[in-house]
Amino acid sequence: MGVMDQVELPKPVRYVFNWGRKFSLWCFNFGLACCAIEFIAASTSRHDFIRLGVIPFAHGPRQADLLVVSGTLTDKMAPAVKRLYEEMPEPKYVISFGSCANCGGPYWDSYSVTKGVDQVIPVDVYVPGCPPRPEALLDGIITLQHMIQHESLPDRIAGRRQDAVTLGADAPLTLEGR
Amino acid sequence: MSDLSTREKIHPGTAPGEDIALEIVGDGDFATTDMTLSIGPAHPATHGVFRIVLELNGERITAARPVIGYMHRGFEKLAEYRDFRQIKALVNRHDWLSGFSNELGVALVVEKMLEMEVPDRAQWIRMLIAEWNRVLNHLMFVGSFALELGAITPMFYAFRERDEIQYLLEAATGGRLHFTYNQVGGLKLDLPKGFLAESVRLSKLTQERLPDYFDLVLGNEIFQARTVGVGPLPPEVALSFGVTGPTLQAAGVPEDSRVTEPYLKYDEVDVPVHLGENGDSFDRFACLLYRIQYSLHIIDQIHDHLPAGPVNTKLPKMVKAPEGAAYQRIENPLGQLGYWLESDGGRTPWRLKMRTPSFSNVQSIPYLLEGMLVPDAISVLGSVFFVVGDIDR
């Protein structure tokens, strides 16, 4: 991002800049479980979130602006989602899609499920439902776009650097498991 | 290290009567080192979070090791803390593409323990929804398999049908993926007004559109080149791994518990089973398409049979299964699904053991991938039908 994350842009420039950013969200779908099917449904002809500027063809996290975590995150999977998130360039946004990703959902008392993806990475928008309808994802995306339109990038980046990520803060997370 | 001076065939198994004359000949001093390639847990070519570790010699796979457990959510343990009526809301999520069949299995096994009579109409409606669910599941795999081979269009075709069917089922059940429509002793509600007319219309429409898939995918030369003769699974190997469903039927084994061990009213309808010849990726995919066609054939018969009457029985305030155990197997869209339910007479099950089709299907992958080229591995992974949640539970 260079100077963008350090210098506050003048208001009109920021408006145009944010307008451009909010309608070109390259999206990386981290499809974990049932919700991934509804994510695909949202990307096909009937619901078609490409009309909102969300492009679901990012080749990997390094090309993506938006991470949609759809499905149950297990403790075994948590290091992978953290690593994918860290591979994404700033500014990056996360939508937690579905009850499992929000809080553990129907597996609230399971021994192997992470109770919410926000224990691992910071989340911007939570979409509730089990699984949420494709319309709910569209609503979540519009909420996120509204947020992007009115945000100040330097503030966001400054806030991000103070974000404490709890899981794995003391012990390094590896793909081999904890 | 390998010795490429010996001649070896690229396709270890070709279709009978067909000789692919592709051979690579090394010049003797060309040596390669083995490489380990980890595909997954997040990789677009494996649906869901299936991880597989490949040992490669050049482009050839010498060993494949599936790493499972990334989606382990502990269903069997959680079921021990749920009421007999609540388990269905849990189990319809392990194979998320066949929610209705899963909950049907649990409902049947609990009814078996309680020795409960289920009204006729409820049984017929269960069959109707289960077959629609099977169509939904198979359409998803039709789309995703083609997508993995590089064709994006079948996905949009499949979702055109899927969306319509999901709206139909939503009218009756209120759910799009997880219906939670079964209840111990019957169904939650009767079918809404106008459901049958819509169901008849949709069945006709889908049957009209089905030839599109046969032409577009099965008749496609590129698709045939990627799948014919790739990953043949002999019937005896398939049986020894416990492979079931379309993957087993493609190997030519006529096993379908709707026919061999009918439950509900499947003995009163005609259930055709399509059998493959070679058990390769092409046959597995063809079996899937034929299963859609035959499910629609069964749906048409159910429309003609559907009797009037109640759809559920009155349950006591507290459902307690007597001490003992029961096993029920049903034909899930992906294969044999079995539930072993053991009760100590309390309010919750003492143990629920699942026998899920994907878990067994995946066991055949190391056998299938050995000696294969990497691009063919995608064709095999896509056609040994599995859902990751169904593997890991």
ipTM at complex level:
0.79
Same-domain status, B86 and B12? no
User: Considering its fold, how many domains does chain B have in total?
Assistant: 2
Q: Is residue B385 assigned to a domain?
A: yes
* Residue range A140-153, pLDDT digits in tens: 999 899 888 888 88
Residue A52 has pLDDT above 80, yes or no: yes
DSSP structural state of residue B93: T
Give the per-residue pLDDT at B3. 46
B371: which 2 tokens?
């000696």
Give the per-residue pLDDT at B297. 92
Candidate from B129-133, B200-204, B389-393 with smallest mean pLDDT: B389-393
Concatenating the DSSP letter of every residue in B179-214 gives ---EETTEESSPPPTTHHHHHHHHHHHHHHHHHHHI
Residues of A in contact with B74 (CB under 8 A): 107, 110-113
Range B95-113 average pLDDT: 89
3-state helix, strand, coil in chain A (%, to 5): 45, 15, 40
Same-domain status, B23 and B134? no
pTM: 0.84
Q: Is residue B19 assigned to a domain?
A: yes
Q: Is residue B1 assigned to a domain?
A: no
Q: Is residue B2 assigned to a domain?
A: no
Domain boundary among B19, B39, B66: B66
What range defines the domain where residue B332 resides?
72-391
How far A16 CA lies from chain B's nearest CA (Å)? 34
Among A40, A110, A130, the residue with its CB nearest the CB of B78 is A110
The answer to whether A66 and A92 are in contact (CB under 8 A) is: yes
Give the per-residue pLDDT at B32. 63
* Residue range B185-218, pLDDT digits in tens: 888 888 888 899 999 999 999 999 999 888 888 8
Domain boundary among B47, B66, B85: B66
Residues of A in contact with B80 (CB under 8 A): none
Using alpha carbons, select from A42, A21, A47 the residue that is nearest to residue A31.
A42
Range A111-138 average pLDDT: 88
Place of tokens 């032409």: B215
Same-domain status, B272 and B303? yes
If pLDDT is split at 50, 70 and 90, which confidence band does B220 have?
confident
Residues of A in contact with B76 (CB under 8 A): none
The answer to whether B143 and B155 are in contact (CB under 8 A) is: yes
How far B254 CA lies from chain A's nearest CA (Å)? 30
Among A33, A74, A106, the residue with its CB nearest the CB of B90 is A106
Q: In this structure, what CATH number is given to the domain that contains residue B324?
A: 1.10.645.10
Angle, CA of B382, B384 and B390, to the nearest 5°? 100
Listed in sequence order, the DSSP H helices in A44-152 are 78-87, 99-103, 134-149
Residue B31 has pLDDT above 70, yes or no: no
Domain boundary among B30, B48, B66: B66
CB neighbours of residue A75 within 10 Å:
19
Range from A89-98, A145-154, B126-135, B316-325 that averages highest in pLDDT: B126-135
Longest dimension (CA), chain B: 78
**Helix (H) or strand (E) segment spanning residue B328:** strand B324-332
Give the per-residue pLDDT at B10. 47
Interface test with B, best of A35, A46, A55, A63 (most B CBs within 10 A): A46
Give the per-residue pLDDT at B1. 40
Report, in angstroms and rounded to the nearest whole number, the Rg of chain B calculated over CA atoms.
22
* Residue range B234-291, pLDDT digits in tens: 888 889 998 998 888 898 888 888 888 888 888 888 889 888 888 888 998 999 999 9
CB of B40 within 8 Å of any CB in chain A? no
Q: Among residues of chain A, what percentage have pLDDT more than 70?
A: 87
Q: Which residues, including other chains, have CB under 8 Å from residue A124's CB and lie 6 or more apart? A: A93, A94, A95, A144, A147
Same-domain status, B189 and B44? no
Among A36, A107, A133, the residue with its CB nearest the CB of B78 is A107
Distance of CA B291 to the CA centre of its chain: 11
Same-domain status, B198 and B100? yes
A142: which 2 tokens?
């519009």
Q: Is residue B52 assigned to a domain?
A: yes
Q: Which residues, including other chains, have CB under 8 Å from residue A4's CB and lie 6 or more apart? A: A153, A154
Same-domain status, B109 and B246? yes
Mean of pLDDT over chain A: 81
Torsion of CA B154, B157, B158, B159, to 10 degrees: 120
Candidate from B39-48, B124-133, B290-299, B316-325 with smallest mean pLDDT: B39-48
Beta bridge partners of B342: B325, B351
